[in-house]
Amino acid sequence: MEMSTGELLSVDPRELQFPFELKKQISCSFQLANKSEDYVAFKVKTTNPKKYSVRPNTGIVLPRSTCDVIVTMQAQKEAPPEMQCKDKFLLQSIVANPGATLKDITPEMFNKEAGQAVHECKLRVVYVSPPQPPSPVAEGSEEGSSPKAFPLENGNLSASEVARASDEPHDKSAEAKALVSKLTQEKSMALQQNNKLRQELELLKGESSRNRGNLPFTFIIIVGLLGVIFGYLMK
């Protein structure tokens, strides 16, 4: 902030903003800038000295230099009505002797009634809302907490997702068809074998009728095989 006419020190900012919170000590700061070639002494006063502490509350700002002032508000037990604060600060400044130091500052230097050329600047106090913490992650947004939908492109499934979604059922259908084809072939072969055995059985029956009482051993084996085949087909 540029220095106004008649001011020895420019002040930035002129408004002390405290992020007010109950039962918490809060600090803010402002900067004094001396753009002249003079040594400038300053003093900071407040309308409520028990509520605030100022460091430094007096000092010397060297030519072409700056000084930071920190104001700390003590923890408050209750908030003011409508968060309005009537507290004010007064910055007094005066040209000091060249080479002056802190020990050279006296209360009489800022006594306007004694004819001292004291410049004054008023600073007001404003309470602002403290910064809000980041909002927590919404429920169900974490991985695994809810099923995920397919990504959409202009309201439609992307081509890659469509292909991926259709591959699995297609593969399962092909496997099922191959299994059915294999079982059909095995069943056909079994029926052919069964018919062949039936024919051989008929031939054996004709022979057995001629040789009653002497059943060939081959006939017994064939009957056993027929039982096994029928059992397989009934599964």
Is residue 96 domain-shared with residue 198, that is, in the same domain? no
For residue 165, being part of any structural domain is answered with no
Query: Domain check: are 110 and 188 in the same one?
Result: no
In a domain, 202, yes or no: yes
Question: What token pair was written down for 23?
Answer: 């039962």
Count how many domains the chain has.
Answer: 2
SS3 of residue 126 by DSSP = strand
The three-point CA angle 163-166-168 to 5° equals 115
pLDDT digits (tens, 9 = 90+) for 123-178: 999 999 887 777 665 555 544 444 444 444 444 445 555 455 455 554 556 777 77
Question: 148 lies in a domain?
Answer: no
Residue 145 covered by a domain: no
- Asked if 33 and 113 sit in the same domain, the reply is yes
Do 99 and 205 sit in the same domain of this protein?
no
Is 108 a domain residue? yes
Give the pLDDT confidence score for residue 150 in this predicted structure.
Answer: 44
Domain that holds residue 202: 175-233
Q: Are residues 120 and 191 in the same domain?
A: no
Would you say residue 19 lies in a domain? yes
Task: Read off the pLDDT of residues 72-100 as tens digits, 9 standing for 90 and up.
Answer: 999 999 988 989 999 999 999 999 999 99
The rounded Cα 23 to chain-centroid distance in angstroms is 29
pLDDT digits (tens, 9 = 90+) for 13-69: 999 999 999 999 999 999 999 999 999 999 999 999 999 999 999 999 999 999 999
For residue 82, give the CATH number of its domain: 2.60.40.10
Clarify whether residues 122 and 180 are in a common domain: no
- What per-residue confidence (pLDDT) applies to 153? 44
124 and 14 inside one domain:
yes
- 161 domain residue, yes or no: no
Q: Considering the domain boundaries, does residue 39 fall inside one? A: yes
